[in-house]
Amino acid sequence: MATEHPELARALVDACYLEGSFLLRSGATSDHYFDKYRFEAEPALLKQVADALLPRMPPADLIAGPELGGVPLAVALSSASGLPCRFVRKAAKTYGTAQLAEGGPVDGQRVVMIEDVVSTGGQLVESIGALRALGATVESAMVVVLRDPVGSENLAAIGVDTVALFHEHELDLPSGH
């Protein structure tokens, strides 16, 4: 395992690595899956992830996470860094404040996005586009597990640097994945 956080990597794999047949957001199928909610729902593990991400966080005014998986990470990293966070909906709700980005304004703010597991980066690309349309500057995204380099390539294509805590190939996965 080639990582600077081998104990955390092992804990994440133990907590959320599953084998089977899984349909990914991209439409691809995979014989393994990282059920990120299994680490995001555990306060001690979520804190360890935030603490490991904190020293790698690019300069920012705000942290934003796309619903649903990015929200607990945004809160944890916000708590660890002292920076406010925002929650990016997939679509603005049609009632109440009808906001796409919840938690306050993003206009004129440098925002770092945070996401749990990224394969192609599709949700991040959409969320970043939405924040930029609201006037935010988004040049960096942090991910806990980067499954496929295509995700960082797709983010680079829209001018976003990817900071990955773990690349899938660094994790000691069962069955040689």
How many angstroms separate the CA atoms of 152 and 50, rounded? 20
Give residue 176's pLDDT.
55
| pLDDT for res 3 | 67
CA–CA gap between residue 150 and residue 153 (Å, rounded): 5
CATH value at residue 144: 3.40.50.2020
Q: Report pLDDT for 78.
A: 97
pLDDT band at 13 (very low <50, low <70, confident <90, very high): very high
Identify whether 171 is part of a domain: yes
Q: Which domain holds residue 32?
A: 6-176
Give the pLDDT confidence of 108-164 residue by residue, as tens digits.
Answer: 999 999 999 998 899 999 999 999 999 999 999 999 999 889 999 999 999 999 999
At 2, is the pLDDT very low, low, confident or very high (cuts 50, 70, 90)? Answer: low
If you average pLDDT over residues 25-37, what whole number do you get?
Answer: 86
In a domain, 1, yes or no: no
Residue 1 — very low, low, confident or very high, per pLDDT cuts 50/70/90?
very low
pLDDT in tens, 51-106: 999 999 999 999 999 988 899 999 999 999 999 999 999 877 777 776 889 999 99
| Per-residue tokens: 158 | 């829209």
* Number of domains comprising the chain: 1
Instruction: Give me the residues paired with residue 112 across strands.
Output: 63, 140
In a domain, 149, yes or no: yes
d(CA 113, CA 130) in angstroms, rounded, equals: 12
**Which residues, including other chains, have CB under 8 Å from residue 46's CB and lie 6 or more apart?**
39, 40, 72, 73, 76
- Better-scored residue on pLDDT, 35 or 95: 35
Domain-embedded: residue 104: yes
